[in-house]
Amino acid sequence: MNKNFNFRGLATALVTPFNESGEVDYENLKRLVEWQIENKVDAIVPVGTTGESATLTDEEQYKIIETVIEQANGRITIIAGAGSNSTKKTIKLAKHAKELQADAILTITPYYNKPTQQGLYAHFAEVASAVDIPIIMYNVPGRTGVNMTAETTLKIAEEIPNVVGIKESSGNLIQIMQIIKNRPEGFKVYSGDDSFAFPVILAGGDGVISVASNEVPSLMKQLVSACLEGQLERARELHYKLLPLMEANFIETNPIPVKAAMAMLGLIKEVYRLPLVKMNEKNKEKLRNILFEVLERENVSIGFIEK
């Protein structure tokens, strides 16, 4: 097992800000990085699925990762998104992430192809043999159409040294606990769902790769820290306080709600790339009410672009 990557805690699956013409807003991206660091998150994940990686060009992905790394300047762990349904393209993205000096990559199980469990193993083995960088796998069957089983995950964890962890978004707590229970020493398990952060960490997991920490990084940091430090009552309180927002972030396809919420807070412009579009007004009003109910007791400095 690769011992050089020891991240535990809260990672933000960072949104990609666009300007009104639909181009990446790199200046605002830098401000988002600073805001995350100021709120003491432990890692940033640029160009994941929450970052709308599917509609970014390769060149945009490289520039976003480069911008985030340069702005962070060694102050925080950077886990670069580098996933595709093509193993060859995944390797290309991973090599660029390594060249840009990302600390690790997050790479999704191949989507649409629906590989077998043997195919999933072969995919990650090929990527790991081609690029010497810590690799965190991402299992999200609701997006990809295929679930990587606990058996396959554990086989990869045992046999492929630079695969150092998994972001688990299967929604199956039994599967996640099987991985936690039987993993080799040093292999990390992160919740891929904010609403599962509390049970997964208390079951022995290592943190969460979060959507909600785009909106409420300080509260998510408090939740994750309380879980990791065994402060059960505080963790439970924060979990139930944040649960309505965690759920509201998925009343439409991610990252539509989280970007709408961030626009309400003055953090970004509410701009997406097709085929994603703005929320319908009924859902937006519901989200707004939940967001500001959660925030009303928080003294958090937010808002840094012109509305």
- The catalytic position among 167, 259, 269, 284 is 167
CB atoms within 10 A of CB 147: 18
What are the DSSP calls for the chain, one per residue? ---S----EEEEE----B-TTSSB-HHHHHHHHHHHHHTT-SEEETTSGGGTGGGS-HHHHHHHHHHHHHHHTTSSEEEEE---SSHHHHHHHHHHHHHTT-SEEEEEPPPSS---HHHHHHHHHHHHHH--S-EEEEE-HHHHS-PPPHHHHHHHHHH-TTEEEEEE-SS-HHHHHHHHHHPPTT-EEEESSGGGHHHHHHTT--EEEESGGGT-HHHHHHHHHHHHTT-HHHHHHHHHHHHHHHHHTTSSSTTHHHHHHHHHTTSS-----TT--PPPHHHHHHHHHHHHHHHTT-------S--
Dihedral sign computed on CA atoms, order 64, 66, 70, 74: positive
- The catalytic position among 111, 121, 138, 272 is 138
Closest CA to 228 of 204, 193, 195: 204
Dihedral sign computed on CA atoms, order 153, 158, 161, 167: positive
User: Is 3 one of the catalytic residues?
Assistant: no
User: Is 138 one of the catalytic residues?
Assistant: yes
- 50 labelled as ligand-binding? yes
Q: Are 167 and 190 a contacting pair, CB within 8 Å?
A: yes
Annotated binding site for pyruvate: 50, 209
Catalytic site residues? Answer: 138, 167
